[in-house]
Amino acid sequence: MKAAILDHGRIKVGEFPDPTPEKGQVVVRTHRCALCASDAHFLTSGHTVVERSQKNNGPYARIDLNKPIVMGHEYVGEIVDYGPGSRKPLPAGTLVTSVPAVRMGDSFGIVGYYPECPGGYGEYMLLDEDLLLEVPRGVDLDLAALIEPLAVGIEHARAGEIRKGDIPLVLGCGAIGLSVIAGLRLQNIAPIVACDVDPGRRELALAMGADVVVDPREASPYQPHDDLGGKAPNVVYECVGKAGIMSDIIDGIAPLGRIVMGGYCLEPEEIYVPTAQNKRLQVNFAGGELPEDMIAARDAIVEGKVNLKPWLGEGIGLSEVEGALKRMSDPSEPIRRVVDPSRL
């Protein structure tokens, strides 16, 4: 199959072996796959990710970076065939997405990171039949590729354990932050404060459902706001993913506040623990989406409860994947570009 292949730190278009499914696995023809900042991080810092995962037997520990990898974990595709002895819960031709994981013996491989589990930057993927989620025919395929990132935000939003009277603050309005705002809105939570240095991202935050947006260069996002009845946010979602942010939050948040760490930072974080202790802060570390989050995200997109069209830039082909990943940190870039693997 044709694919955009990661090989020793570079991505190039070439031929990759068609995946062969075993029992419980399914081959899916990729229709669309969105580019994720996690892939951009992995492109430049894959060795760091793997090495640190090996220290604690994390999910990336068994990745062999000496082998070519087809990345891409925000996808929608069509069932082609199952491995022998599989249950075959959905017929061939069904449009599907899934949590990006595949059973491999007694463990799981990560779709788009394990060489044995090629992801959506290729014409075919290998998925797990027990994690398949049907997507209705007729849905915009580019939007269907955003089910997974929206599901991440829904999970992160839930990790804040929002209670009546809480005021959430979302720091960083990239894909994670915007999907957290959408996830909070799906829970009918308001008001929501969002913070980003880029005016375009602040506009997107309002479109996703934020009530108040803050430029941190002009005002502290932790201070009371007139638009909030003179109250200050007390639940902070960290969606920036840079070292030092957690320390800033601990210094800025009011006592008894809660912090949700959702940003993906590969550098060590240094904090002054007594400040957090004296304020009696609670810190929750948000993880990846669960199957129920994928269902909620699919339904929200299909039913029009969340409009992610403002996220989308112009679609691309396989030859444009590397360049688009390298530009993802530029705030002038769209939140998501979607690759069609049938295009070069």
Q: Using CA atoms, how far apart are residues 195 and 178, in angstroms rounded to an integer? A: 11
Q: What is the mean pLDDT of the chain?
A: 95
Q: Which of 31-35, 50-54, 232-236, 338-342 has the lowest mean pLDDT?
A: 50-54
Q: How many CA atoms lie within 13 A of 328 on its CB side?
A: 25
Label residue 21 by pLDDT band (50, 70, 90): very high
For the chain, the helix, strand and coil percentages under 3-state DSSP, each to the nearest 5:
30, 25, 45
Residue 344 has pLDDT above 90, yes or no: yes
Q: At what angle do helices 175-186 and 147-159 cross, to 10 degrees?
A: 70
The angle subtended at Cα 182 by Cα 36 and Cα 239, nearest 5°, is 50
Residue 107 has pLDDT above 90, yes or no: no
- CATH class of this structure's domain 2-146+312-339: alpha beta
Q: Using CA atoms, how far apart are residues 138 and 95, in angstroms rounded to an integer? A: 10
pLDDT attached to residue 55: 87
DSSP-based three-state secondary structure for 245:
helix
Residue 169 has pLDDT above 90, yes or no: yes
Burial of 12 (0-12, 13-18, 19+ CB in 10 A): middle
Q: What is the mean pLDDT of residues 31-44?
A: 93
CA 142 to mean position of chain CA atoms:
15
Q: What would the pLDDT profile of 255-281 be if each residue is shown by its tens digit?
A: 999 999 999 887 888 999 999 999 999
pLDDT attached to residue 271: 93
pLDDT attached to residue 46: 87
CA 264 to mean position of chain CA atoms:
10
Q: Using CA atoms, how far apart are residues 28 and 30, in angstroms rounded to an integer? A: 6
Q: Using CA atoms, how far apart are residues 342 and 301, in angstroms rounded to an integer? A: 24
Domain ranges (residues) in the chain = 2-146+312-339, 150-285
Alpha helices in 2-120 (DSSP H): 37-55
Domain 150-285 has CATH 3.40.225.10: no
